[in-house]
Copies of this chain bind each other. A is one copy, B any other.
Amino acid sequence: MSDVADWWRTAIIDMEPGRISLRGVPVEDLIGNAGFAETIWLLVMGAPIDGARARLFEAALVAAVDHGPQAPSIAAARMAATCGVGLNTAIATGVGMLGDVHGGAGEQAVALYHRVDAAGPEGLARALDAWRAEHGPYLPGFGHRFHKPVDPRAPRLLGLVDAAAAEGAVAGRFAAAARAVEAQLAAERGKPVPMNIDGATAVIYAELGCPAPLARGFFCLSRSVGLLAHAWEQIGQGGRNKGPTPPGYRWTYDGD
């Protein structure tokens, strides 16, 4: 039996009939005592989080819940909700679209900050050039095609990081790295290219010690909230097989 049982190994959950333990904590001790954000951290990271660090993490989760139905994932979830599927499918439709482009900027920004932090101030310009040589001209986490001049979520999140750093809960080194990138970009372009939501939540995830891929993982949990809210609202509005534009519009045929 052991080869089969060993095929599925986990340190997340232990179970016997009548007993469930999550990361070593009986589930009935978490229920009613631990917050949802704290439980997320505990389950995924395998260690508790509390105090100022827990509040930072919760702020990052809250900040990214929604960006409206012009985002392809939200639009797709709303369209799915009119196609005769369950709410779970509507959510899955949207989460499945949070790929390297739609959901990956936070992940990439964490990686970028680690490089910038390692390069130090004198290596900054070179580190950014190296990044762009590998990944293309845009730095993840900076600039926004809609929120100009400023993404309102970013300064608020950075302010919380600063406060946490002031009380010693986090080191603040990745906030510094992110601001160095922002300053360098502004110098290069001659105008501000401010940090956006992905850049700001990446600061938090980096400060908290999350591996870069989890920045995307946590973003998925956060944006799932918006996906559910929009799918549910769409169900209330009705509609069947909702297309992207009103039925009176058609696409442009550009074949021969």
Listed in ascending order, the chain A residues whose CB lies under 8 Å from chain B are 1-15, 17-20, 22-24, 26-28, 30-32, 34-37, 39-40, 43-44, 55, 58-59, 61-63, 65-73, 75-76, 78-80, 82-89, 91-93, 95-104, 145-153, 155-157, 159-160, 213-214, 216-218, 220-221, 224-226, 228-233, 235, 237, 240-256
Q: Which residues of B sit under 8 angstroms from A246, Cβ to Cβ?
A: 3-4, 6-7
Q: Bound complex: CA of A63 vs CA of B95, how far in Å?
A: 22
Q: Given contacts A26-B152, A92-B95, A100-B84, are A14 and B72 in contact (CB under 8 A)?
A: no
Q: Which residues of B sit under 8 angstroms from A218, Cβ to Cβ?
A: 228
Q: Bound complex: CA of A92 vs CA of B90, how far in Å?
A: 10
Q: Bound complex: CA of A80 vs CA of B72, how far in Å?
A: 7
Shortest C-beta distance, A152 to chain B (Å), equals 5
Q: 9 smallest A-B Cβ distances: which pairs?
A: A84-B100, A84-B101, A11-B255, A85-B99, A244-B244, A84-B99, A83-B102, A72-B79, A92-B96
Q: Which residues of B sit under 8 angstroms from A39, Cβ to Cβ?
A: 61-62, 65, 225
Q: Bound complex: CA of A12 vs CA of B228, how far in Å?
A: 11
Q: Bound complex: CA of A28 vs CA of B159, how far in Å?
A: 11
24 contacts between A and B (CB under 8 A): A5-B249, A7-B246, A10-B253, A20-B147, A28-B153, A31-B63, A31-B157, A36-B37, A44-B225, A71-B241, A72-B79, A75-B76, A76-B80, A79-B244, A83-B99, A83-B102, A84-B101, A86-B98, A86-B99, A88-B97, A101-B241, A213-B232, A220-B224, A244-B245
Query: B9, A35: Cβ atoms under 8 Å?
Result: no
Query: A153, B31: Cβ atoms under 8 Å?
Result: yes
Q: With a 10 A CB-CB cut-off, give which of A43, A218, A246 has the most chain B CB atoms.
A: A43
Q: With a 10 A CB-CB cut-off, give which of A5, A17, A28, A92 has the most chain B CB atoms.
A: A92
Query: A69, B147: Cβ atoms under 8 Å?
Result: no
Query: A148, B226: Cβ atoms under 8 Å?
Result: no
Shortest C-beta distance, A209 to chain B (Å), equals 14
Query: A37, B40: Cβ atoms under 8 Å?
Result: no
Q: Bound complex: CA of A237 vs CA of B245, how far in Å?
A: 19
**Nearest CB in chain B to that of A219: its residue:** B88
Q: With a 10 A CB-CB cut-off, give which of A17, A36, A216, A245 has the most chain B CB atoms.
A: A36
Query: A67, B32: Cβ atoms under 8 Å?
Result: no
Q: Given contacts A31-B62, A226-B43, A244-B8, are A88 and B99 in contact (CB under 8 A)?
A: yes
